[in-house]
């Protein structure tokens, strides 16, 4: 009985996948990015062709396809990996790219000296 309580508690700390390997926040991100890309592109093309309302339908169709493809991609990326693997991978890649290009806006700690935990010896 104790083992099942540990498993349940561990699963409560993470967002569950709700659609094709996408969690709620990832699905929201895919929807926002897809809509920001596909709606202007499809509306522009449809307006040039003289069918503006058809552009909205095309944008919704492309957004649906984007969700399906990105869901399959996220399933492949997450398979067999620990939780939050790709987020940490992207964060570390970003840090290493900034170090490689020598930009000043990186998140690496640069400190030379002694480190402490703020405690003193018996005082």
Per-residue pLDDT tens, the chain, 123 aa: give them.
Answer: 555 555 555 556 677 778 887 888 888 889 999 999 999 999 999 999 998 889 999 999 999 999 999 888 888 877 787 777 777 777 776 666 665 555 555 556 666 677 677 777 765
Please give the tally of structural domains in the chain: 1
Q: Please state the φ and ψ torsions of residue 22, each to the nearest 5 degrees.
A: -95, 130
Confirm whether 102 is domain-assigned.
Answer: no
Confirm whether 45 is domain-assigned.
Answer: yes
- Which domain does 24 fall in, by range? 2-81
* Predicted local distance difference test score (pLDDT) of residue 45: 93
Confirm whether 111 is domain-assigned.
Answer: no
Confirm whether 117 is domain-assigned.
Answer: no
User: How far is CA 91 from its chain centroid?
Assistant: 10
* Predicted local distance difference test score (pLDDT) of residue 89: 73
Confirm whether 92 is domain-assigned.
Answer: no
Residue that is written with structure tokens 């570390």 in the block: 92
Confirm whether 54 is domain-assigned.
Answer: yes
* Predicted local distance difference test score (pLDDT) of residue 95: 64
Angle between helical axes of 24-49 and 52-78 (0-180°, round to 10): 150
pTM: 0.60
Confirm whether 18 is domain-assigned.
Answer: yes
* Predicted local distance difference test score (pLDDT) of residue 24: 85
Confirm whether 119 is domain-assigned.
Answer: no
* Predicted local distance difference test score (pLDDT) of residue 56: 92
Residue that is written with structure tokens 């062709």 in the block: 49
| b/e burial code for range 81-92 (CB count within 10 A of at least 16 → b) | eeeeeeeeeeee
* Predicted local distance difference test score (pLDDT) of residue 97: 60
């Amino acid at each position: 009985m104790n083992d099942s309580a540990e498993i349940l508690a561990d699963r409560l700390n993470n967002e569950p996948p709700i659609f094709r390997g996408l969690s709620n926040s990832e699905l929201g991100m895919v929807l926002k990015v897809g809509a920001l890309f596909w709606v202007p592109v499809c509306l522009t093309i449809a307006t040039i062709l003289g069918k503006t309302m058809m552009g909205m339908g095309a944008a919704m169709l492309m957004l649906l396809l984007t969700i399906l493809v990105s869901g399959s991609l996220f399933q492949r990326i997450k398979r067999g990996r620990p939780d939050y693997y790709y987020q940490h991978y992207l964060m570390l890649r970003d840090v290493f790219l900034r170090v490689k290009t020598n930009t000043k806006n990186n998140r690496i700690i640069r400190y030379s000296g002694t480190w402490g935990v703020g405690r003193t010896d018996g005082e």
